[in-house]
A and B are shown apart, each in its own frame.
Chain A
Amino acid sequence: MRRGDLVVIGAVLALAAVLLGWQWATRTGSGDVLTAEIYHMGELYLEIPLAGGEQLFHVETESGGNVILLTADGVRMLEADCPGQECVHMGEIRRHGQTIACLPNRIVVRLTGTTGEEYDAVAG
């Protein structure tokens, strides 16, 4: 390792810290309730507030389908008909700004809004 290496590593980590800080600073959502937004090819397709119970959504696109499960606390991708299954393995997202993306079907699920006090306990 040379000094140049440390400069590169330091610069990357500093940039990552700045980006994380910026995400942290802008975390406050617009509403009081966590809302799941489902996008297809960049267009908002569905917007569902997490109302407490479990809800299943089937999304069909020309390239394949996904099953999205909304729970009381978050959203997860339950099924995807792609070989990678990356989105399924991401598990459940529970905080504002978190995103699950199904790249083959070009579906993005994103959470917005806040959950009040629960927030600080899980952030970080």
Chain B
Amino acid sequence: MPSRDSRLTGTRRLSTLALLLSCALMIGVVERMIPFQPPVPGVRLGLPNVVILFALYLFSFRDCLLLVLMKCVLTALFAGSFPSFFYSLTGSLLSLAGMYLMIRLLGERVSPVGVSVAGAVLHNTGQLLAASLLMGTLFTMAWLPVLMVSGVITGVLTGAAVGMLRRLPMNVITGGHGGRR
């Protein structure tokens, strides 16, 4: 985790956040274009989580929270109904909180892979909890084991992607001078 003083500030912080937000939205749109019908609803690659987790290593929790909220609201505007917004919001917030705590408490003892796996599983858990709440029944929790296993698989993949991104020099992403990390 970068120390606080190396964090992006000012215009660069704003523009990088905006860039990451649009990346997350576009990746989400592209992901929905993949023709894949899982036998259990909720199984998905979760590619936008690459962006969210990457942001967690760069920005403060507040900035990441803003990023996640904007992502959920804008995704709902593009392609959503109220239930889908509610599910994605619950899942995303639970996932963000879990990933933030893991990075904060465990530091470099876990790599992005472990954090991403926890984030994916928490995302699925949050969605199922939201579904249970909306449907008024706990039966939907029956899918949890399946979604946990799929979360491990997709979490490893997206986590590995974040690991690769973190090895890039920062100016590739922010357009600044030199590697500021």
Query: Which residue numbers of A lie inside 8 Å of B, CB to CB?
Result: 1-9, 12-13, 15-17, 19-20, 23, 39, 41-43, 82-84, 86-87, 89-91, 97-99, 101, 103-104, 106, 108, 110
Q: List 8 extra interface pairs beyond A5-B113, A42-B135, CB under 8 A.
A: A2-B110, A2-B111, A9-B152, A15-B148, A16-B144, A19-B148, A23-B145, A41-B136
Residues from chain A with a CB closer than 8 A to the CB of B40 are: 90
In Å, the complex CA distance between A39 and B149 comes to: 27
Majority DSSP secondary structure for residues of B touching A: helix
Residue B3, interface by CB 8 Å: no
Residues from chain B with a CB closer than 8 A to the CB of A7 are: 114
Contact A8-B142, Cβ < 8 Å, known A2-B109, A91-B39, A103-B41: no
User: Closest chain A residue to B114 by CB distance?
Assistant: A5
Query: Which residue numbers of B lie inside 8 Å of A, CB to CB?
Result: 37-41, 81, 83-84, 87, 106, 108-111, 113-115, 117-118, 121, 131, 134-137, 139-140, 142-145, 148-149, 151-152, 156, 159
User: Closest chain A residue to B153 by CB distance?
Assistant: A9
How far does the Cβ of A43 sit from chain B's closest Cβ, in whole Å? Answer: 7
Residues from chain B with a CB closer than 8 A to the CB of A87 are: 41
In Å, the complex CA distance between A17 and B149 comes to: 9
User: Closest chain B residue to A109 by CB distance?
Assistant: B139
